[in-house]
Structure 1
């Protein structure tokens, strides 16, 4: 019962944390939709400007993505869909087969112009609205295009004036990546100490399951850069976000190397000469350095302490001729992970590689 309650509590805390990240987008969408409707009805005199609030929702977006491209696709897609719909409805009327024909021709035109999913969907939905819902509407295609433009502009203004925190977004996803790396190394170290191949297999599964986490981190960085570009309120945070950008690619490489390390750990535990305990100790030190990097990035500081910790462990990563083949591969992969994480702290490739003892011969 206690375990169930703990899991429920963890789930609720996760949901509350997600709401905290999404609250700005919810506010931007709701307030922007109302403002867009008000502008279109009161200033432009449009009777049913439904494309205005729809444009706000698409341009703000609840998920991660390229907002500026979405706005452009929305306006062009509405214009094209309304144009195709108006022309065909005026010629062939409205009905089931007419709607099918309108959608087919509108989507074909959209695919030939741009294969973007949002663009194609917007063209098709606009054409359906004209053909099915508003065949006798006195609003022209130009009015609907203006409504879409108003909604897009209001959506961008809402993002600029009520922005989400780009650093909180980047920090959340960077923490997921570095946590996964640290956990994989910790599990591999424990597997070596306990001579447990099953633990090594768990470490491999942990490392293999990080592809989606890395992709989410990269997407979060794109969204964070977009927020800083649009919102003057966050321009002063460009330097802090740049540290996350510096870390993104090297941390991805470190995770790839961790997968190989975990796989060779399984093999090494089946060899006559198992990996030495000192290798597990080095893995734990690198694991702790990854968590230290996570903390310093999240605090908005230059990751000096993480760099120092990595430099200290780097000096001891000397290849040992007395170990088995798989253990030698593990050492090589750990050396690569150290270099990757040093690069993530801001060191260049040459400086990071020079921190390691040279390989004889």
Structure 2
């Protein structure tokens, strides 16, 4: 039922866009067989958000190239197998050699096949198919923008808040598992850590989609710099996720050994989780407010450094290898997290908190 609800809106959007594209091409343009209008709309809607402008351009050029080559070849050689072979050779070959995307190659080939096998030209070139592709792409773009017309950054903010909340909750649950020396719970956290990459990927996709939306709106283009900052943050967040995964893996080993957990370790993990939450609040408030993003970033900085300072105390008692690995991952996570919120001189300050001083 949940999947059905999630798929209802995309299905209605796709059906509506394809129908509107057909009606425009058939009744406004007057094309008697506007097949490429709804098909182009469906292909564009099938592309992930954030890539539809590029996808539309590729579809238009793909259809135009395929149709033009096919009509010229059929006019010269007539319909048949020979024309089919020549059309595919002249469309797929040069595009593949030029490094064109699979979408562009596929659209070009299908367009050429359709002209040769179904709608061979009757002695003159017909530009309708090119116009149909343009109409379908434009309708699809318009349909996708209606859903975020009033608040184009809301999906991005929601994704950012969920991503950072999931990271913080995972660290909190990991802290509980370590504190109670609960190996099954630590394994459950490790399994969840595998899925964190999907959250970061969704955040990156939403950033691309928000950038696409803002580029279509002149008055909101000043927000593009903020969206680009989010895109850069997702790269650092990828490192954070990898660090937390390694941290969880070592936590499983620590609980399997049934070693007593030092109180400072739970305090360090708690401070690290707080730093993650503050980093998420900084990102969200920077996009839409309310709140002071610099204040949240400063709090993330303070919490992350505190986590490192607390973890550094554990090194004084010659910790076990799994515990040493966890301490190292706390340090690395703090570095990548603070880089993601744009803090300066991160490495030296984190190393200083750990007690490392350069010679």
Per the alignment, residue 168 of structure 2 pairs with 182
Deviations 1:46-105 (A, max 9, x none): 333332343344445563242232122112211221133224434555457865664465
Q: Under a length normalisation based on structure 2, what TM-score does the superposition of the two structures give?
A: 0.79
Is contact 1:274–1:327 with CA below 8 Å preserved after alignment? no
Cα offset for 1:338?
Answer: 2.2
Deviation at 1:176, TM superposition (A): 4.4
Moved over 6 A (4+): none
Q: Which residue of 1 aligns with 2:234?
A: 248
Q: For the residues of structure 2 that align with 1:89 and 1:212, how far apart are their CA atoms?
A: 48
TM-score by length of structure 1 reads 0.78
Using the alignment, how far apart are the partners of 2:124 and 2:139 within structure 1?
21
Matches within 5 A, 1:261-276: 261-271=247-257, 274-276=260-262
Deviation at 1:140, TM superposition (A): 2.4
CA RMSD of aligned residues (A): 3.6
Question: Any gaps of 5 or more consecutive residues in structure 1?
Answer: 1-10
Q: Please state if 1:347 is matched with 2:343.
A: yes
Q: How does 1:1-361 map to 2 (within 5 A)?
A: 12=2, 16=5, 26=13, 30=16, 34=20, 37-38=23-24, 40-41=25-26, 44-59=29-44, 61=46, 63-90=48-75, 93-94=78-79, 99=84, 102-103=87-88, 106-135=91-120, 140-153=125-138, 155-156=140-141, 163=148, 165-232=151-218, 234-235=220-221, 237-238=223-224, 240-242=226-228, 244-271=230-257, 274-295=260-281, 297-298=283-284, 300-301=288-289, 302-303=292-293, 304-305=295-296, 307-318=298-309, 319=312, 320-322=315-317, 323-348=319-344, 350-351=345-346, 353-354=348-349, 357-360=353-356
Residues 95 and 191 of structure 1: CA distance in aligned 2, closer, same or farther (over 3 Å): same
Shift in Å, 1:240: 4.9
Q: Quick check: 1:286–1:310 contact (8 Å CA) kept in 2?
A: no
User: In the comparison of the two structures, how many residue pairs are matched?
Assistant: 345
Counterpart Cα distance in 2 of 1:309 and 1:110: 49
Distance 1:197 1:139, change over 3 A: farther
The range that moved more, 129-138 or 217-226, is 129-138
1:4 aligned partner:
none
